[in-house]
Structure formats: C-alpha cells, structure tokens
Amino acid sequence: MTRRTVFLASGLVLLALVPPIAAALGQPFYVDVFRRIMIFAIAAVSLDLILGYGGMVSFGHAAYLGIGAYAVGIPAYYGLHNGYVQWTIAVLASAAIALVIGAISLRTSGVYFIMITLAFTQMLYYLGVSVEEYGGDDGMRLAARSTFAGLVDLRGGTTFYYVVLVLLVLSLGVGHRLINSRFGMVIRGGRSNEARMRAIGFATFRYKLVAFMIAGAMCGLAGALLVNHTEYVTPEFMHWTRSGDIMFMVILGGMGTLGGPVLGAVVLRLLEDLLLPSWTEHWQAILGPFLVLVVLFAKRGLVGLLPERRDG
C-alpha cells in the first residue's frame, strides 16, 4: 500500500467514527455535517473520473445532483417513496441525460467544452425554476425520505450516515477498478495524448462518452442522497456555483487521485459551512485567497503534498 492509500483508508475509518464521537460529545449536529460532506465527496469523486483522469473539464456536473434530487422529489410528490425505484430513476435518468449532453459536448474541447457543459446545466436549472408544479424557484419539500422496506430506515440520522459512508466507499472501489481497467487506461490515455491515441487505433469518443455517463450516474446517486439529506429540493442544486464547488473540491484535493476529491470535499465544506462563517462574516475574503494559493502552490492539490506520487 502506498502512503496515500493508508491516508485514504484512515480517513474513511475516521469518518466511520464520527457518529459515536459526535454522540460522546453531545453534538449530534456533526453527523449531519459529515453526512453532507460525504455526499459531496461522492459527487466530487464522480467528477474526478472525467476531470482528473479523463481531462474532460465539465463545468456542469451539478446538473446530475439536480436530476438525482428531482428523481427522488418528483415521485415522492406523487406519493411514491420507494427508494429502490427512486434511486434507480436517479441513476438511469442521470446517465441518460449525461449521454445526451456528452454526445454533443464531447465533440468540442477546451473552452468550448467547458462552456457547453455549463450551458446545458443552466438550461436544466432554468427548467427547474420554470416548472411551477414542483415549486419552481422555491423548490419543494420532500414529504418523506426514501424507504427501503426490509433493508434500512433512512429516518434514523445515524443509519442514513452509514448508508452514505458505504456508498462513498463503494464509489471509491468502483472508481479504483474503473481507472485501472482497460477502459480506464483508454480514458487516461485520452487525457495524456489524444493524437497518439488515435494513431494507435483508439476512436476515443465513445469511451469518453461512456465515462461521462458513468460519472453522471454516480453524481445522480449523490443527488438522490442530497435530497434525502436536506429533505428539500430546489433548482439551486443545479446552480453553476454548485458545479464550481464540486470542481473546486476536486482541484483542491488533487485531480487524478481518488483520495483527493474526498479530502477536497472535507476541507472545502468545513471551511465554507463551519469554520470561516463562525469566525467572520467576511469569510469569503479568506476562502478566495486560500483557494488561489492552493492552485498556485500545490499544483497537485492537497493530496499532492503527501510524499508518494503513485496512486490509484
């Protein structure tokens, strides 16, 4: 095991210890905080698969958070609370929409790709704003969390916490297999040198498209978790600043690593949600320069500050 693998594993163990520690401290609030962090970590890991490993700078990844959330919220609005159905819709709908967005945007590259993925997500955002039936701009409350008869009860905050942790570990496991498989080598090769890929015989487009779909589906699952966490869904889930947030978690933690996005989610969320706002109301003036410094001086992200380079 590399030092980074040890680091990632200990991080996950620490996350597993959050509920008992929070209970011991009499601060159950932290279970909520870290559950939210882990949901964003799943979203960030999914983005890193295409951004860090595939070099596809998608600036619209929040779209799938929204799709996943509405895939839970809309059935619930009609009285369908079955989580198996809701979460399956969340994953499949996200994959399907990623297929459409990817099929168009992957024909471009560079700045155009960034702009097109952003534009599609803005379209979905405004779609959410315009559909009054589901609350429009204000969004809507989730009447009840997804139900998984006979398996788990998400109403228990701690149970839900461990469900999210298990899904995070599964995402990391799937991600690890994926990036080291033949498929993953094609995706990474495409990031490294597209012209060389074509010359040795890879038509990379369809591989990239499938990677784009997998990332979308994984983020859709994070969206289904997020709506259960907040018990509320609004178009804000898809706002472009949310896409930027997820992207920053990846860059901050370290692109092209699995531990990086998780670390990035923890650090960014803690800074944004807890530490800085409680210290000063001008916290954004501190966060901004901090992020700039990380980008400038820790080019491989926070994970890159750990000595070992080989990871994944």
Partner 1 sequence: MADALLEVRRLVKSFGGLIATNRVDLEVLDGETHAIIGPNGAGKTTLIAQFAGDLHPDQGTITFAGRDVTALAAPARSHLGIARSFQITSVFREFTALDNVALAVQAHAGSSFAFWRPARADRALRDPARAMLESVGLGARGDVVAANLAHGEQRQLEIAMALATRPRLLLLDEPVAGMGLDESQQMIRFLGSLKGRHTMVLVEHDMDAVFTLADRISVMLYGRIIATGAPEAIRANEEVRRAYLGDERAL
Q: State the DSSP H helix or E strand holding residue 289, giving kind and residue range, or none if neither.
A: helix 284-297
Q: How far is the CB of 220 from partner 1 (least distance, A)?
A: 18
Q: How far is the CB of 74 from partner 1 (least distance, A)?
A: 30
In DSSP terms, 153 is beta-bridged to 147
Q: Are 32 and 269 contacting, i.e. CB atoms less than 8 angstroms apart? A: no
Contacts of residue 255, Cβ cutoff 8 Å, sequence gap at least 6: 48, 51, 52, 300, 301
Token couple for 300: 């491989």
What is the nearest approach in angstroms of partner 1 to the Cβ of residue 193? 5
- Choice between 85 and 197, CB closer to partner 1: 197
Q: Which is nearer to partner 1, 63 or 211 (CB)?
A: 211
Complex with partner 1: residue 43 or 187, whichever CB lies closer: 187
Identity of the residue, 172 or 178, whose beta carbon is nearer to partner 1 in the bound complex: 178
Unique residue bearing structure tokens 């471009």: 108
Point out which residues bind partner 1 (CB under 8 A). 177-178, 180-186, 188-189, 192-193, 195-203, 207, 210
β-strands 152-153, 140-141 pairing:
unpaired
Q: How far is the CB of 256 from partner 1 (least distance, A)?
A: 9
Taking the complex as a whole, the smallest distance from the CB of residue 283 to partner 1 amounts, in Å, to 37
Q: Which is nearer to partner 1, 196 or 282 (CB)?
A: 196
User: 51: Cβ–Cβ under 8 A, 6 or more apart, which residues?
Assistant: 57, 58, 247, 250, 255
